[in-house]
Chain A
Amino acid sequence: MSVPGDINLIKTKTSLTPEIIALMGQLRVVSFVGIGVILVVGFLIGISFLFLTNEQRSLAETKKQLLTVIAADAKKESLFFSLKDRIPVVDRAIQNEKPWGQILDMVGNVILPPKLISLAVDDHQVVFFNGKAGSVEEVAGWTSSIIDLVAKRRVRSPQLVSLQLTKEGSMLVSFSFIPN
């Protein structure tokens, strides 16, 4: 009970500036929004996780069933796998073959036995052949046939390896080329 004439200098209420009051209000709004966002995001993550877990379980089940089906066809799978594995091997081997018949045809176009004495093909597929010519004109004819093959792009790098005149007057000639 206050006695008239007493003076209370202590304020019963501390007043805040309007800025702080406004800040407090904004902070309250932000915090509620934050809680709201977290609840929504958390809910979405939880739902997604549950959905994905379910999906994973379902996929695992499907995979198991498919593996059972595939296991029943294991023999076919092994045969098919071996087939797929062997086809490129066979293809490479076929590609590796050289058309020797055609190469002999080319040599045959130039010179044939008994004028053709020998023929050889080395590891690098260079074709060497020796012929016995009765005259220079004959050698010139063979040379011209080889040049003709070069012009048709059937052979490359033609060489006159050697030319020898024998006692009998015949000529031993040696040629080489690389088939294309």
Chain B
Amino acid sequence: MIRRFLRPYQGFVVPVGMLVLCFIVTIFGIIPGARQTFALFNQINDARQEVSDLRAKATLLGSLDEATLFNQLSLLSSVIPVDKSVPTILSTIDGVGAATDTIFSSLQLTSPGSLATEAAKRQTTEEAALGSYLLPFTLTMEGGYQQLRNTLASLTSSRRLLRIKNFSISFANSGVGRSIMSMDAFYAPLPKSLASGTKKLVPLTQKEDTILTQVSNLPLLSRGVAPVGVVSVPHIDPFSP
């Protein structure tokens, strides 16, 4: 009876079956396939960008001269040494004294600590803002007004960067002044984590080039002891990909 009733509708079986098949194929085949293809497309876009960056990096590295890089890094390390470099502080002060005809009567390192890098030392807020460590010291000197003026100017603009935090000068009746200065010497260890192979590398900007020129123009006033210009080549991270 039912068979006899359904017989006229058997023409629906094939199209409905096909539509059901379409539905199943869409759900379990087309949609996951499209998703996977889209994800692959995104991955390839990222990979293309990465390859483009790597190509630019390889080209940049190819265009750089190792000796020039070494000299530039040495120059910067003579301005701000990689460690406390107390001898360069002394030689710079000595050189400034000779250049300005000022007599330095005492120098006192406030907290010299380790003579090595002390890279693990915790930075103060100010040091963190500056990006370098500060070695405080007190300097006492004597000279005429103009000599003291020249010394103050030279101390803060020599190849070994020193900073005057505060100072006082008292003048005797003869016009000779005695100055006590609280100063800081900058030092900054080389970075610990170096570039990995895949890390993007940007060429030196015009501003960075200007800074390098500015630094190379700073007068070299140290005497006896050469400024810390020799830097060891940083270690390459063996775990980088």
Contacts and interface: CB of A to CB of B under 8 A. Distances in A.
Contacts of A154: none
A79 B61 contact: no
A90 B76 contact: yes
Given A14-B8, A27-B16, A100-B152, A118 B40 contact: no
A30 interface: yes
Contacts of A114: 171, 173-175
A67 B198 contact: yes
B163 interface: yes
B75 to A, nearest CB: 9
Interface residues of A, number: 76
B54 to A, nearest CB: 4
A165 interface: no
Given A78-B194, A101-B153, A66 B236 contact: no
Contact of A96 (B26, B60, B163): B163
Interface residues of B, number: 97
A38 B211 CA distance: 63
A120 B26 CA distance: 84
Nearest to B77: A86
B44 to A, nearest CB: 5
Interface string B17-35: 1110110011001100110
27 contacts: A27-B15, A31-B14, A31-B22, A52-B37, A56-B44, A59-B44, A62-B51, A63-B51, A78-B233, A79-B70, A79-B234, A80-B61, A82-B73, A83-B72, A84-B204, A84-B208, A87-B76, A87-B212, A90-B79, A91-B211, A93-B186, A97-B163, A104-B152, A113-B177, A114-B174, A118-B168, A118-B170
Interface of B: 4, 7-9, 11-12, 14-19, 21-22, 25-26, 29-30, 33-34, 36-37, 40-41, 43-44, 47-48, 50-51, 54-55, 57-58, 60-62, 64, 66, 69-70, 72-73, 76-77, 79-80, 129-132, 144-145, 148-150, 152-153, 155-157, 161, 163-171, 173-175, 177, 186, 188, 190-191, 194-195, 197-198, 201-202, 204, 208, 211-212, 214-215, 231, 233-236, 241
